[in-house]
Amino acid sequence: MLYWALIFFILAIIAGVFGFTGIAAASASIAQILFFVFLAVFVVSLIAHLITGRRPPLT
């Protein structure tokens, strides 16, 4: 999900350079939403890890 946020951020920068303000604003808002969703999922998984205390299996 962070990958998609970065893609939309780069798309917003490129669109802003070429003067497509509508596309740049839309891409920037999508990137912002995806970033906050990624951040929320990260915090939830971090809290779940701290509560359960389980470690991933070593291979």
Does the pLDDT value for residue 35 go beyond 70? Answer: yes
* 44 pLDDT more than 80: yes
> What local confidence, expressed as pLDDT, does residue 19 receive?
76
- Contact status, residue 57 vs residue 37, Cβ threshold 8 Å: no
The pLDDT score that the predictor gives to residue 4 is 77
Is the Cβ–Cβ distance between 5 and 41 less than 8 Å? no
Whether 56 has a pLDDT exceeding 70, the answer reads no
Q: Evaluate if pTM is beyond 0.85.
A: no
Could you give the CA distance from residue 21 to residue 15 in angstroms, rounded to a whole number?
Answer: 7
38 pLDDT band, cuts 50/70/90, is confident
Beta-carbon contacts of residue 26 (< 8 Å; ≥ 6 apart): none
Average pLDDT score over residue span 20-41: 82
CA distances in angstroms from 26 to 4, 18, 42, 51, listed in the order given: 14, 15, 24, 38
